[in-house]
Structure 1
Amino acid sequence: MSTPKIPPPGLLIMSVLSARWNEVWPGLLGELETRFGPAGHVSELFPFDQTGYYDEELGTPIGRRLLAFDALRPLDELARIKLDTNAIEAAHAAGTRRCFNLDPGFLTLERLVLATGKNFSHRIYLGQGIWADLTLIWQRGRWSDFPWTFPDYAGPEMKSRLTKLRQLYKTKLNT
């Protein structure tokens, strides 16, 4: 019999996609920090060009920022966090078109799990219409992806960024 054990908290990360950065930033950052606490890491703006999936809705060219929040959080908050980010997106939408896309997830020593409202064979239902997407795992000193990993997360640039965030997380766990 296994004995239930609460895991260590995770590092809340968030990918922010938009083609309207001048309009939404830094106000959006302030809103996210009000809701989730200070961001200990805010990446520079970098291109999101691995897919055209969001082009029609968000416009082009789409840029991305990757955030990591200071406070480590219980992993079972992921569904609520995704519902919160959905509400923020909706509050800023122009009709049915979002101004930005927020993708929250938890980074731990072992994995990166993103939250989504879309079911798929490899996703685990968390409740409230939200699924957990096992996106990457850490093994043998590097990130490993899966056949379903989004191309932007499978690429070396994102994996390098996530490795730095994993080190930040590891430091936070040890302090």
Structure 2
Amino acid sequence: MSTPRTPDPGMLVVSVLSADWDAFWPEVGAEFKARFGPFEASEEFAFDQTDYYDEELGTPITRRLIAFDALRPLDALADIKLWTNAVERRYAVDGRRRFNLDPGFLTQQSLILATGKNFSHRVYLRDGIWADLTLMWQRKRWVDFPWTFPDYAGEAMKTRLTKLRLSYKNKLSKPQK
């Protein structure tokens, strides 16, 4: 019999996609800080693996990864996704989002993203939110799956996530404030 235990907290990571950062980022960045505390944002980098968001967000789309200083319980993922969905709606113009927010948790073992779309490999959390096992850490590298989105399967993303994973491991070894 297994004995239930609380897992280590995860590092909240949010992928932000947009073609017009100046139109929203200062305000949305401040909302993120007020809600989840200090974070580090990556530089903008190309999002060109698909044209899925082009019509809604415009072009050229770039991405930033934001990683929060405070580690969080993994069971907070559904609440976080519901909050990011509300932020997307609040800043929409004429029914079109200006940005896409994809929150997830990075742990020593994996990257789990939250989504509102069901699929065979996703686990239902609650309130219309599923958890997507996007990447797995194995043998000192990120391993993708047949369902991993191409942008997350690429080396540019995996390199960034490896750096965040090291930061996460360092945070785990220090007492949280």
Shorter-chain TM-score above 0.5? yes
* C-alpha distance in 2 between matches for 1:166 and 1:102: 20
State the match for 2:141 in structure 1: 142
Number of equivalent positions: 174
Stretch moving more, 22-31 or 64-73 = 22-31
* C-alpha distance in 2 between matches for 1:22 and 1:79: 28
TM-score, normalisation: structure 2: 0.97
* 1:7 and 2:23 correspond: no
Matches within 5 A, 1:1-175: 1-39=1-39, 41-175=40-174
Amino acid at match of 1:137: M
After the TM superposition, which parts of structure 1 deviate over 6 Å for at least 4 consecutive aligned residues?
Answer: none
* C-alpha distance in 2 between matches for 1:160 and 1:47: 14
Stretch moving more, 27-36 or 115-124 = 27-36
Deviation at 1:104, TM superposition (A): 0.2
Identity %: 69
* C-alpha distance in 2 between matches for 1:113 and 1:43: 19
TM-score, normalisation: structure 1: 0.98
Give CA deviations for 1:85-129 in whole Å, capped at 9, x if unaligned: 000000000122001000000000000000000000000000110
Q: Please state whether the residue corresponding to 2:132 is helix, strand or coil.
A: strand
Amino acid at match of 1:23: A
Point out where structure 1 has 5 or more consecutive residues left out of the alignment.
Answer: none
Give CA deviations for 1:68-95 in whole Å, capped at 9, x if unaligned: 0011000000000000000000000012
* C-alpha distance in 2 between matches for 1:63 and 1:30: 20
Q: Please state whether the residue corresponding to 2:70 is helix, strand or coil.
A: coil
* C-alpha distance in 2 between matches for 1:125 and 1:58: 28
Deviation at 1:36, TM superposition (A): 1.3
Amino acid at match of 1:9: P
Superposed CA RMSD in Å reads 0.6
Q: Please state whether the residue corresponding to 2:71 is helix, strand or coil.
A: coil
